[in-house]
Amino acid sequence: MNKRHMSTALAGLAVLSGVAFQSGGQAFAQAANAASAHRVAAVTSLTGAGSTFDYPFFNKAFYVYGEQYHVQVNYSSIGSGGGIQQFTARTVNFGASDVPMNSGEVKKAEAGGGAVVQLPIALGGEAISYNLPTVKQRLKFTPQVIADIYLGKIRKWNAHQLQVLNSGVKLPNLPIVVVHRSDGSGTTYIFSDFLSTISPQWAKQIGRGKSVNWPVGIGGKGNEAVAENVRNTVGAIGYVELAYVLQTHMAYGFVKNRAGQYLLPSPATVAVAAAQKPGVTSTNFSIVWEPGKNSYPISGYSWVLLYKKQPNVATKNAVVKLFDWMEGPGQAQAATVDYVPLPANIRAQAHRLLATLK
């Protein structure tokens, strides 16, 4: 074997690996931007990425939009974190995240693409579902009891605290099997936000986040796995998105709200909670534990991320038209997949924000 051939091969591989070491993402983003800047005709396709919570709603809404306006919107459901990363790298037209970007993430995105606009796009509530085949009535829970169950302080279904709330019900002597999400999720963020708000012990010990250090319980990957674990295990309890629980007919309970009412999660009760905070912004976005007689206490928004400065006029028009529609007629599509339509004042605010795009 010729030494020269070996060194040629080595040199070729070194060049290849050097190229590989460059941020490939950056190169792609620049290429994509260059391509979009040269687009002259009307834009016929847009891309987005992010939250899995939004996916069923987006899937339906974008299909209907495509049929009406002949613009194809491709959405990659890779998770809120992925959505923020792709948005920051400017490889997509919009990102979607269950939790708005924090100041650090906003700064990083602004460094690349200028000012960022975050709009609420979807609204959801979380049901407390459980598996107790011998119990026919719907159970009642208070926030403190839920916190204590998830802290591991209440271990059995017939514990005194639960029995007191459900006096007419014969609760079985079964251990409570706590189920939570194992993947990082906006659903977990909203739930831990709720628990941090009503339980100082939870706030101090565990805190709020898309992934937290759960004191007890088993983790399921995705709403589906949580639901499956609850269905398979007698005595299990888990928090699941409302849309999911409605479609799979799981048993879920009443939760006591701030006004002292025991409420079931439903499009009506979640919408009331959202309406309590008309001035919701990306820095003040939590709507758990809102006041109001019919406010469901475990609710939260999902957000769409856009750059104020769009690469060209055609793209800006396409993006603004899409999201004006999503914040208007598109919300009717939300109801058909058991999502909660946004309240009118929130939508008006979103339209105002969209008007600022350049």
Partner 1 sequence: MSLLRDKTAQVWIWASVLLLPLLIVLFLIMQGNQSADSIARFGWGFLLGTTWDPVHQIFGGLPFLFGTVVTSLFSLVAAGVIGLGAAVFLTFYSRGRVRSSLGVLIELLAAIPSVVYGLWGLYVMVPWLQGVGEPFLARNFGFLPFFRGASLGVGYLAGGLILSIMILPTITAMARDVLLAVPREIHEGALAIGATKFEVIRVISLPFARSGIIGALMLGFGRAVSETIAVTMVIGNRPQISSSMFAPGYTLASVIANEFTEATYQLYISALNEIGLVLLLLTALFYGVARLLVWRSTRGVGM
Task: Give contact residues for partner 1 (rule: CB under 8 A).
Answer: 1-2, 5-6, 8-10, 12-13, 17, 20-21, 78-82, 84, 104-105, 175, 177, 182-185, 206-214, 217-221, 225, 228-229, 232-233
**At closest approach, how far in Å is the CB of 170 from partner 1?**
22
Asked if residue 59 lies in contact with residue 75, where contact means CB atoms within 8 angstroms, the answer is: yes
CA gap 237, 191 in Å, rounded? 14
- Closer CB to partner 1, 211 or 266, in the complex: 211
* CB burial of residue 210 (10 Å; 0-12, 13-18, 19+): buried
**At closest approach, how far in Å is the CB of 213 from partner 1?**
4
- Closer CB to partner 1, 130 or 323, in the complex: 130
Instruction: Compute CA 91 distance to the chain's CA centroid, rounded to the nearest angstrom.
Output: 20
Q: What is the CA radius of gyration of the chain?
A: 23
- Closer CB to partner 1, 80 or 302, in the complex: 80
DSSP state of 188: H
CA gap 223, 229 in Å, rounded? 10
**At closest approach, how far in Å is the CB of 75 from partner 1?**
15
- Closer CB to partner 1, 12 or 114, in the complex: 12
H-helix or E-strand containing 36? helix 24-37
**At closest approach, how far in Å is the CB of 20 from partner 1?**
8
**At closest approach, how far in Å is the CB of 324 from partner 1?**
29
- Closer CB to partner 1, 113 or 217, in the complex: 217
**At closest approach, how far in Å is the CB of 68 from partner 1?**
31
CA gap 116, 110 in Å, rounded? 6
DSSP strands (E only) in 92-250: 94-97, 116-130, 140-141, 177-181, 218-220, 236-241
- Closer CB to partner 1, 262 or 285, in the complex: 285
Asked if residue 99 lies in contact with residue 280, where contact means CB atoms within 8 angstroms, the answer is: no
The pair of structure tokens assigned to 295 is 């406010």
